[in-house]
Amino acid sequence: MNILCQRVLLGVCLAVLTACSMPGDRNNGLLSRDNILHTGSGKAAEKPDVRNLAILRIHPYVDQRAEKNPRLLGENTTRVFGVEGTELIADQDVASIATASLKKQFQKAGFPVLEEDSTETPAFELSGTVKTLTLNSKDRDDISIAIETSVTDVATGKVIWSALVTEKNSRFAGVSGNTKADLVAYLNRELRIASEKTVGAVNTLLMATYPALFNLIPGTQTIAGVTVYSTSSAVAAPVAVAASLAAPAYAPHASGTMGLLAVSSKPSRAKVYVDGVYYGMTPLRAEMEPGVHSVDVKLGGYKTSSEKVSVRKSDDTELELTLEH
């Protein structure tokens, strides 16, 4: 009888092991335990409803966080069902996740967004940096996001708006603990909120400055969590413009706590990157925070020219470059 029971028990164990190893179950959270959060942020908005003519190209954002691992989100020191290890890792680079989230929300807001390799000329280009993007699961789930964005008018090559968008939240997961799916949903929700802040601010800017693209002349609004560094003066006092769009004004000199960087090149119409962020084409005048900045000027057929410049508060800094073949 004992031998028979042992054989029956062995058969049951083998059946369970066989079922657990079936291919269809490998992605089940109960069986597949790791520390990778599959965000799904690479998916674009389905069938975007284009509602304006402000065609955008969103360049890949740059990760400027202190973390060496571009996919690291944060720490896990509590029980999260389906997660192993003490680190929370995204399934792709954090900068790619932020870029994809922004693209999706701009499309949902009715903006036509070009693919990076599209040969069509956009009206505006967006670029920026991820300053902070962390998700820690400890006694509470804490998330912190800080993303800088600059908007460039392609026709003039001038930066017409730049700002830092922040989003922070904290939650108690409950006595039963978290699951991997809960953390992914939490991360995606907060990224969506941060992206919607950027979209709302840029939408307000463009509608006020280029009403012909939207067929209206709106007022302006303040958006919580958006710290504007610089913007077109037209946003402060919206005025009607003709169907042929008027170029926005920009500050000829530094003002307030900011400094002004003026970059010119021979030949002109070269792309200017400041600290890895695309700012526009030469000749360029843009307000930015005082301090030392890395400037790269690029033009097809010429060598990239790189310089370190010191921008001073309430002062103008000029950089003139002659590009070499």
Give residue limits of the domains in the chain: 29-247, 251-325
Is the predicted pLDDT of residue 33 greater than 60, yes or no? no
Kindly state the percentage of the chain with pLDDT values over 70: 71
Rounded distance between C-alpha atoms, residue 8 and residue 12, angstroms = 6
Looking at residue 189, what is its pLDDT? Answer: 92
Is there a shared CATH topology between the 29-247 domain and the 251-325 domain?
no
73 CB neighbour count, 10 Å cutoff: 24
Quick check: 26 pLDDT over 60? no
Q: How many angstroms separate the Cα of 152 from the Cα of each of 69, 139, 171, 310?
A: 30, 42, 37, 22
- Mean pLDDT, rounded, of the chain: 77
Average pLDDT score over residue span 182-207 = 90
Res 58: pLDDT: 96
Q: What is the mean pLDDT of residues 136-153?
A: 92
Residues 6+ apart with CB under 8 A from 279: 127, 150, 152, 159, 272, 273, 286
Highest mean pLDDT among 222-226, 236-240, 310-314: 310-314
Please give the residue that has the higher pLDDT: either 167 or 224.
Answer: 167
Residue 219 and residue 224: Cα distance in Å, rounded?
17
Q: What's the CA gap between 214 and 202, in Å, rounded?
A: 13
Topology of 251-325 in CATH?
Immunoglobulin-like (2.60.40)
* Residue among 44, 188, 184 nearest 103 (CA): 44
Angle between helices 94-108 and 180-209 (to 10 degrees): 50
pTM: 0.60
pLDDT-based confidence at residue 194 (cuts at 50, 70, 90): very high
* Residue-wise pLDDT tens digits, 242-299: 222 333 333 445 556 778 888 999 998 888 888 887 777 888 888 788 899 999 999 9
CB atoms inside a 10 Å sphere around CB 119: 6
**What CA–CA distance (Å, rounded) separates 41 from 54?**
23
Give percent of the chain above pLDDT 90: 36
Give the pLDDT score at 274. 87
Contact (Cβ atoms closer than 8 angstroms) between residue 222 and residue 236? no
CA distance 106 to 100: 10
Decide if pLDDT at 207 tops 80: yes
Mean pLDDT of 114-126: 90
C-alpha span between 277 and 1 (Å, rounded): 76
When mean pLDDT is compared over 1-15, 28-42, 68-82, the highest value belongs to 68-82
Indicate if the pLDDT at residue 230 is higher than 70: no
Q: Domain 29-247: which CATH class? A: alpha beta
- β pairing state of 316-322 and 141-153: unpaired
Q: Say what the pLDDT of residue 174 is.
A: 57
Interval 173-197 mean pLDDT: 83
Which region among 7-21, 70-84, 133-147 has the lowest average model confidence (pLDDT)?
7-21
Cβ atoms 101, 192 nearer than 8 A: yes
Return the structure tokens found at 182: 């809960």
User: SS3 letters for the chain?
Assistant: CHHHHHHHHHHHHHHHHHHHCCHHHCCCCCCCCCCEECCCCCCCCCCCCCCCCCCEEECCCEECCCCCCCCEEEEECCCEECCCCCEEEECCCHHHHHHHHHHHHHHHCCCCEECCCCCCCCCEEEEEEEEEEEEEECCCEEEEEEEEEEEEECCCCEEEEEEEEEEEEEECCCCCCEEHHHHHHHHHHHHHHHHHHHHHHHHHHHHHHCHHHCCCCCCCCCCCCEEEEEECHHHCCCCCCCCCCCCCCCCCCCCCCCEEEEEEEECCCCEEEECCEEEEECCEEEEECCEEEEEEEECCCCCCEEEEEEECCCCEEEEEEECCC
Range scoring the smallest mean pLDDT among 41-50, 233-242, 272-281: 233-242
In this predicted structure, which of 102-106, 191-195, 202-206 has the lowest mean pLDDT?
202-206
pLDDT higher for 152 or 180?
A: 152
